Amino acid sequence: MWNFKRIALLTAAILALGFYIYYSDRASHERAESRIQSKKILQLPDKNKIISLLIENKSKGPVEISKQNNRWWIVKPFRYEAEDLVVDGLLSALTLTTWERSFPAREVNTEEMGLWNPEQKITVTLRTESGLEKRRLLIGRDAPMGKFVYARWEESGDIYMLYEQFAKSFDKSVYALRKKRIFEIAADEVSKVRVSLEGRNFALVKRDGKWEAEAKETAIDPVKAETFFSDLAGFYAKEFLDGIDPQNPDLGLAERKHSVGLTRKDNSEIVLWIGKENKEKGAFYGLKEGEHTVVLIPETKIWEMPRSLKFFEKKEESAKKPEFDKVKVEKEKKSVEAVRIDGKWRLESGNKEQESVVNQAVNELIGYLQNADFGDPDPAIKEPPLTPEVVYVKLVTPGKISWEYTFYKKDNTIVGQIASQPGYSRLDESVWNEVNQYYQQIYSVKKA
């Protein structure tokens, strides 16, 4: 039998083995961490120590970004706010990238490696306890083996082989570095929105956590409000027109006529002034209040705004709807006509036993066309799609006035020409399904 002494010795041995494994594994992990840290191209405890980057590429002009009041700005070749996510990616590349190999510069030909006349130069300005410190990283040619490039800190005696992706990450255009979103603000920080477009002036205000139309103090559907803010969040600068005078009358910005403005809870504002359309670029001129750089806003984003506003507009009581005494519906050159006799719709030719089906289908079709909200015409649509399916509807009043509707379908694209409305409207597929269904019901009676 095991005595107490043997059990105690065995327990002690097991505990000792456990402690040995734990501390051995911990030490191994720390050594691995230390090796990784020692191989980092820029060894810093905190990437926030970096306050400036000057990036010089042979194929591009120099670009400098600087941290000011906890925000990153492009300061060369001009001053403009930088995109935080892009800058953070550059800082991470500097502070997390490790070298694959290193060797003394005295043992190799640095000219052949492209380090005398480097492809890229990255000057890093650091804030240290002793003040500001500048370090310049030189990026040379591609290494002959693998996907690596040669690199060297200026005045350093070591050369490193880095993955080529590091060099590519710093091959940024000025456009890539610029902040492109117009309204960089969370929806819950907004207290008021003003829109002035296409003759519409509209304002939403938040009261007690709920959105209301400012003028009529009418509560707004929160789902519709979310759609509206989603449209606003999509506003971005398609192109920056540096050096163009915002007062140029050809831009339509000097008049300060059209705008979209957001008010924060602290009453500060973000206002985008919208000018004339640049049809060649498929965009509108824009200018943020307080800035001097003209931008191009995609026309699709501008056309979305009136669409959003229609969600909130109070529908006025409709005028008396016209009466019709003749209807024609046609698809693929197969047409059917109905006339109104004694208050009921009948086919000019067809199965008289199914006149009730015709009467109901025609009444529902007319009601649908009169009550549906087909939205505003989309100026971006200049013509219907090629080789589409087409449904044509013609409603004729007793005074011989015609109301014509033409619906085009090509794959998932639905376009409509709506009575008394110029241009083409982009429609939902449900519109096509409804109209096509009425056609099928009426035409089926004619065939019977």
Residues 262, 269 contacting (CB under 8 angstroms): yes
pLDDT at 353: 66
- Indicate the DSSP class of residue 427: E
Residues 126, 54 contacting (CB under 8 angstroms): no
Q: What is the CATH number of domain 47-177?
A: 2.60.40
pLDDT at 316: 47
Local mean pLDDT, 10-residue blocks, the chain (448 residues): 60 63 52 54 78 90 91 91 90 87 84 88 89 90 86 87 89 89 84 78 81 68 74 86 90 88 89 90 90 89 68 54 90 90 81 78 90 78 89 92 92 85 84 91 80
Please count the residues of the chain: 448
The Cα–Cα gap between 14 and 12 comes to 5
Q: In what order do the strands lie in the sheet with 413-417?
A: 344-347, 334-341, 326-331, 389-396, 402-410, 413-417, 425-427
Radius of gyration of the chain (CA): 35
pLDDT at 365: 92
The Cα–Cα gap between 144 and 358 comes to 80
Per-domain residue ranges for the chain? 47-177, 187-312, 326-447
